[in-house]
Amino acid sequence: MKRIVILGGGTAGTMMASHLIKRLKDDWKIIIIEPKEDHYYQPGFLFMPFGVYKEKDIVKKNRSLFPKKVDWVKERVANIDHQNNSLLLKNNEKITYDILIIATGSHTVPQETEGLLGDLWQKSIFDFYTPEGAIKLHKALTEFTGGDIAVHITEMPIKCPVAPLEFAFLLDSYLAKKRKIRNKTKITFVTPLSGAFTKPVASKILGHLLEEKNIHVVADFNIEKVDNQKKCIVSYDGREVSFDLLVTVPTNMGAKLIEDSEIGDELNFVPTDKATLQAEVKENIFVLGDSTNLPTSKAGSVAHFEAEILIENILDYINDREFSHNFDGHANCFIESGYGKAFLIDFNYLQEPVTGRFPLPKLGPLSLLKKSRLNHLGKMSFKWIYWNMLLKAKKIPLVGATMKFEGKNIKGE
């Protein structure tokens, strides 16, 4: 019996397992290798510091999510031997494959920044990209009485590039509505980018919203170190941003396994054909989700769209056909703007976010690049969609894997 091995049981790996079980014949065995018991709805981390979710609200057991016909190997992988189509596990067991799908994701690496894991870590310095960080940040925000809060991005790429912006917007409304201390707090958004976001049109609109909310922006800030004594972050050009509370997004990197197997770039992301999702290292290896080095967002929506393309290309590969589907970098995401409203953006490799309607060209009902209550409700309902549709490879009505241009003001009309 031939084998497809999925390396990683997070969002991308679980979706691919569901696609493969539905589409492949019984002469293929599907194996998923994932050492962790728990699966987190990672977009929920954003809301935990503000008390919207508790940890129990965003976690499920992997066994309840993996398709029953999938063989689950609950072990860590020590090395990928791509030349011999095999994986060496930490327990010295060897697993061979005919096709390998890498979905090992990305994670924060705070030790990459000097001083970040110093005396102030998880006392005055927090992240919200981990459940532990989000829980401790919630406690810190409930005890905060005023002062300087810096919301900081170390470097790109990161998971969900808009999440730090969302955090700043939600922080503004949280301090104003719930804590009643917004007038006692200075919020500074510190980014290595030259603007609020990576795409010019969206950056302009979101940057204007930062101004409206009196959130100071420090752009082009490439951090050198955290000074724990002075309570400030220091850039390579000598600029300093002081804080009483620092909310940082540390460097994001791919799995150490990718480095150890010598198949990744300097951040341990796997060089991947941006259209076919085939790994550059070998033809029978495919990559999706945060593991890739693709020039698109590291976000759940991207993994979802990639999976819909990749299942078709894997079927083509199995049947010795040319690849019939190309991924266009499609991404969409809701951006919380505070006060119960949100934006929605939809874009791909070549087309930046623009205004318009989604998913129906004229009826919407969602508006693009405009804040609305409906967009916020869409964001909050996505948790149900994630658990009940995305991970189970169920198609979302009216939303295709590739970007649609109808209903979008592409030329600004």
- Mean pLDDT of the region 30-50: 98
The whole-number pLDDT of residue 182 equals 98
Mean pLDDT in the chain?
97
pLDDT at 82 over 70: yes
pLDDT at 412 over 70: no
Domain match, 216 and 101 both: no
The whole-number pLDDT of residue 202 equals 86
The whole-number pLDDT of residue 368 equals 96
Domain boundary among 226, 251, 276: 251
- Mean pLDDT of the region 271-289: 98
Round to whole Å and give the CA distance between 200 and 194.
Answer: 10
**Number of domains comprising the chain:** 2
Look at residue 371 and tell me if it is in a domain: no
Domain match, 195 and 238 both: yes
Domain match, 208 and 282 both: no
Domain match, 115 and 219 both: yes
Look at residue 358 and tell me if it is in a domain: no
pTM (2 d.p.): 0.97
Per-residue pLDDT tens digits for 94-144: 999 999 999 999 999 999 999 999 999 999 999 999 999 999 999 999 999
For 220, the domain range is: 110-251
Three-state DSSP at 101 gives strand
Domain match, 142 and 245 both: yes
Look at residue 411 and tell me if it is in a domain: no
Look at residue 326 and tell me if it is in a domain: no
**CATH number of 257's domain:** 3.50.50.60
pLDDT at 413 over 80: no
Domain match, 142 and 244 both: yes
Look at residue 325 and tell me if it is in a domain: no
- Mean pLDDT of the region 331-349: 97
Domain boundary among 210, 225, 251: 251
Look at residue 238 and tell me if it is in a domain: yes
The whole-number pLDDT of residue 26 equals 87
Give the side-chain half-sphere CA count within 13 A for 311.
21
Domain match, 166 and 263 both: no
Task: For the chain, report the end-to-end CA distance as a whole number of angstroms.
Answer: 56
Domain match, 233 and 122 both: yes
* Residue 392 CB contacts under 8 Å (≥ 6 apart), including other chains: 18
Look at residue 334 and tell me if it is in a domain: no
Domain match, 191 and 128 both: yes
Going 124 to 129 to 133 to 135, the CA torsion angle's sign is positive
User: Is-contact 387 41, C-beta < 8 A?
Assistant: yes
Per-residue pLDDT tens digits for 175-214: 999 999 999 999 999 999 998 887 788 889 999 999 999 9
User: Is-contact 370 408, C-beta < 8 A?
Assistant: no
* Residue 51 CB contacts under 8 Å (≥ 6 apart), including other chains: 138, 142
